[in-house]
Amino acid sequence: MSNGNRKILGVIGGLGPFASAYFYDLINLHTQANSDQDHLDLVISSRASTPDRTGFIRGENPESPGPVMAEEAKKLQAYGAGVLAITCNTAHYFYNEVAAAVQVPVLNMIALTAQKAAHTGCKKLGLLATSGTVGTGLYQKTCADHGIECMAPDAAGQQALMEIIYDEIKAGRPADVEKFNALTDSLLNAGCQKFILGCTELSLLKKAGHTGAQAIDTMEVLAEAAITACGGTPIGFDWPPCGV
């Protein structure tokens, strides 16, 4: 069911669907390959109907996405997936529930990003993520374990970011790049050396060339780890060190 000793990558996706499609592209673009058959085998469950993650975490939506994601994880494992990835940062709030549902490893985008940031020598990072992700404190705690301070925008900035993520990108509309740049400038001016694109919708801004050199794209971190975990050779990733 795979290329030689390779593992099939199972993707808990659709959270949202544009970000998951870009993740699929990232896997293809960054796997060393000369023909179709050199590429990884994946099975992607793009379950867009999964309840909104931030809505549940903030208590605005009673239906938990956790059991839906755990069920998808079991189905992906049954399909033959040997490694799972979740292409949504906010959804990592339910990581333990998902990981407990299956025997195969589930990559943790938040832990992998904190490791990558530590590896590049960062000490203070901006966090651009949904209010759900910021509120869970997962990035802040995981980064602190690596000696990295993690700083989210102020309340007005966070509100502007939620508009970019929900009212613009997830709604299929163009993102307000100036509004985004004002947010990142503010974080960099406050002493952040880089900023985490801690929502996979924001990875789409990097794809479009709008985020600059200080962005750490969590979806690129996840894609690199997934290619390696499945037995492929990752190519073309660039992780410049943090300036002092």
| Residues at the interface with its own copies (CB under 8 A) | 2-3, 14-18, 20-21, 24-25, 27-29, 33-52, 75, 79-80, 166, 170-172
- Cβ distance 175 to 205 under 8 Å? yes
Backbone angles phi, psi at 191, to 5 degrees: 100, 0
In the bound state with its own copies, the residue whose beta carbon lies nearer, of 137 and 236, is: 236
Residue 11's nearest CA partner among 88, 112, 111, 65 is 88
Considering the complex, state which of residue 69 and residue 192 has its C-beta at the smaller distance from its own copies: 69
What is the per-residue DSSP string for 67-117? HHHHHHHHHHHHHTEEEEEE--SGGGGGHHHHHHH-SS-B--HHHHHHHHH
In the annotation, is 199 catalytic?
yes
CB of 211 to its own copies, least distance (A): 20
Cβ at position 93, least distance to its own copies in Å: 16
Question: DSSP label at 193?
Answer: S
Dihedrals φ, ψ of 197, to 5°? -80, 85
CB of 21 to its own copies, least distance (A): 4
Residue 181 or 228: the one with the smaller Cβ distance to its own copies is: 228
The token pair at 152 is 């989210």
Active-site position among 122, 143, 150, 199: 199
Give yes or no for a contact between 123 and 95, defined as CB atoms under 8 angstroms apart. no
Query: Measured from the CB atom, is 41 or 176 closer to its own copies?
Result: 41
Shortest CB 125 distance to its own copies, Å: 27
- Which residue number, 181 or 233, has a Cβ lying nearer to its own copies? 233
Min separation Cβ 87 and its own copies, Å: 12
- Catalytic residue from among 88, 122, 143, 242: 88
192 is catalytic: no
Nearest to 231 by CA among 43, 78, 27: 27
> What DSSP character marks residue 48?
T
Active site residues: 88, 199
